[in-house]
Amino acid sequence: MKLSPALLALAAAAFGIGTTEFVIMGLLPEIGRSLHVSIPQAGQLVSGYALSVTIGSPIMAILMGRFPRRKSLLALMAIFILGNGLCALAGGYDTLLAARIFTALAHGTFFGIGAIVAAEVVPKHQRAMAISLMFSGLTLANVLGVPLGTLLGQAYGWRMTFWAVCIIGLVAFAALVVWVPNVRQGRRPRLKREIMAIGHPQVLLAMAASVLCSAALFSVFTYITPLLEHVTGISPHGVSIALLLFGVGITLGNLAGGRAADWRLMPAIMGMLCVLILVQALFTVTSASPVPAIITMMVWGGLAFGVGAPLQMRVVDQGRAAPSLASTLNQSAFNLGNALGASIGGLLVSAGVGYGNLPWFGSLMSLLALGTVYYATWLEKRMQRRREERRAHFRATGATGA
C-alpha cells in the first residue's frame, strides 16, 4: 500500500510515545540507583504510567470528542512534550512518578484517535494495515528509541533520555501540523449512545483479550533487563543490543499482523496466540543462554505485537457507533494489562520467583487471551445462526400467510 504523509506523521508521534513508554525498562537500574529505590519499586513507574493511560484515556477521549480530530492530536502531543520535560526535571521518585502519570494522559487517546485517522486516509480493505503502519512507530521505538535511549541514559544519566524524547515530540508535532488533514468527522453521538456502543459484548471481549495479551507481555518485558543480566548473563551493553533485536522482531511482527488481519481477522489473532503460548513457555528454557534467548525474544516480540493492530481493528469494527471512544478504551485495556503485568511480575519477583520463570505467567495469560477470542468467535457465529433462523422463520411465515 502507498505510505501517505499522514501515516508518517502519526508513526513519528507513535515513535516518541513508544520511546517514553518502553525506555523506562532499560533505565530501571539507573533510576533505582539515582533515586535510591529498589528495582521492583522503580518498576512501579511502568505501572503508574499504564494505570494513568487506563483511567485517564476515557476522560481525555470524552473531552477531546468536542474538537476536530486533528486539533485533538496536536493538543495531546503538546501534553506529551510538556510531560517528558517534567520527567527530566523531576527531583525525586515521587515527582518522577507524578510526571509519568501526567505524560500518560496523552498516550491512549492519541493512539485511539490516531487509529481512526489512519483508517480514514486509506481504502477500506487496507484499514488494519494502515493502523499497523501507525503502530510501526511504536515498534520502531523499540528498535531505535529504546536501545539508543538506554545507551544515552547509561552514558549521560536517565534525565538526558527524557530531554531527547522532548525533541522527538517537537519533530512529531511539526509533522502533524504539516501532514495530517482535517479528516471528515460525522455528527458526534450522545454520550449515552457511545457508552451503549462500547458495552456491546464483542467490544468488551476484544478489550478483555487486549488486557490479557498486554499482561502476558509486560509481566516479563518490564523486568527484561535484570532477566538478561542475571539469568542469561548478558552485559549492560549487550542488553541494549538484545533490545534492538527485540525491536526488529516486534516491527516485523506488527506489519505481518496487520497484513494477516486484512486477510482474515479472527483466525489471524487465534493463530498468533497459539504460537505465542508455546514461545513464551520455551523462553523459560532458552533464557539461560544468550543466542537462544535473543532469538526467542525476537519471535516472542513479533507475535506479541502482531496481535495488537488486529485487536484494535476488531474493537473499531465492533464499536463503530462510537469509534473514537471505543478505540481509545482499547488503549486503556492494553495499558491496564501493562499495569497488571508489571505489578504481578514485581510481586512474583518479590515473593522469590526467579526472573527466568516469569515467562510461565506470560504463557498462562496468552492462553486465557486465546480462550477469550475463541469464545468471541463462537458467540458471534451463534448470534449469526440465530439471525438467519429468524429470517428463515419470517420468510416461511410470510409465505404461509400469503
Q: What is the mean pLDDT of residues 24-43?
A: 87
Under the phi-then-psi rule, with left for phi > 0, alpha for psi from -120 to 50, and beta for the rest, what region is 233?
Answer: left
Q: What is the mean pLDDT of residues 40-47?
A: 84
pLDDT band for 190, please (50, 70, 90 cuts): low
* pLDDT score at 146: 81
Around 348, how many Cα atoms within 13 Å sit in the side-chain half-sphere? 21
pLDDT band for 244, please (50, 70, 90 cuts): confident
What is the C-alpha separation between 136 and 293, in angstroms, rounded?
24
Q: What is the pLDDT of residues 320-368, one digit of tens each?
A: 777 778 888 888 888 789 888 988 998 999 899 999 999 999 999 999 9
pLDDT band for 169, please (50, 70, 90 cuts): very high
Which range is most confident: 130-134, 241-245, 341-345, 372-376?
Answer: 372-376
Q: What is the mean pLDDT of residues 175-202?
A: 76
Report the candidate in 318, 309, 324 with the shortest Cα–Cα distance to residue 116: 324
Which residues, at least 6 apart from 156, have a Cβ–Cβ distance to it below 8 Å? none
Report the candidate in 42, 24, 63, 46 with the shortest Cα–Cα distance to residue 101: 46
CATH architecture for the domain at 5-180+190-401: Up-down Bundle (1.20)
Q: What are phi and psi of 186, to 5 degrees?
A: -70, 175
pLDDT band for 127, please (50, 70, 90 cuts): confident
How do the domains of the chain map onto residue ranges?
Answer: 5-180+190-401
What is the C-alpha separation between 290 and 73, in angstroms, rounded?
41
DSSP H or E run through 184: none
Q: What are phi and psi of 2, to 5 degrees?
A: -75, 130
Q: From the DSSP assignment, how many helices (H) and strands (E) are in the chain?
A: 18, 0
pLDDT surpasses 90 at 285: yes
Q: What is the pLDDT of residues 86-125, one digit of tens each?
A: 999 998 999 999 999 999 999 989 998 999 899 888 888 7
Q: What is the mean pLDDT of residues 288-304?
A: 95
What is the pTM assigned to this prediction? 0.79
Interior angle at CA 262, CA 261 and CA 267, nearest 5? 40
- Residues present in the chain in total: 402
pLDDT surpasses 70 at 269: yes
CA dihedral 344, 349, 350, 352 (to 10 degrees): 130
pLDDT surpasses 70 at 1: no
* pLDDT score at 93: 95
Contact criterion met (CB below 8 Å) for 343 and 41: no
pLDDT band for 264, please (50, 70, 90 cuts): confident
Q: What is the pLDDT of residues 51-61, one digit of tens each?
A: 888 889 888 98
Q: What is the mean pLDDT of residues 247-274?
A: 90
The C-alpha cell at 333 is 485495556
Contact criterion met (CB below 8 Å) for 147 and 139: no
Q: 63-77 in b/e burial notation, b at 16+ Cβ within 10 A?
A: ebbeeebbebbbbbb
Q: What is the mean pLDDT of residues 157-168?
A: 96
Q: Estimate the share of the chain in helix, then strand, then coil, as percent rounded to the nearest 5.
A: 85, 0, 15
- How much is the mean pLDDT over the chain? 89
The C-alpha cell at 65 is 470528542
pLDDT surpasses 90 at 50: no
Exposed / middle / buried, residue 155 (Cβ in 10 Å: 0-12, 13-18, 19+): exposed
Interior angle at CA 397, CA 395 and CA 398, nearest 5? 65
Among 192-196, 210-214, 264-268, 338-342, the range scoring the smallest mean pLDDT is 192-196
What is the C-alpha separation between 5 and 375, in angstroms, rounded?
39
Contacts 24+ apart (CB under 8 A), 231-240: 231/287, 231/288, 231/354, 231/355, 231/356, 232/287, 232/288, 232/289, 232/290, 232/293, 233/290, 234/290, 234/293, 236/29, 236/154, 238/290, 239/26, 239/150, 240/26, 240/147, 240/150, 240/151, 240/154
pLDDT surpasses 90 at 260: no
* pLDDT score at 325: 82
Tell me, rounded to whole angstroms, the distance of Cα 383 from its chain centroid: 30
pLDDT band for 392, please (50, 70, 90 cuts): confident
pLDDT surpasses 90 at 141: no
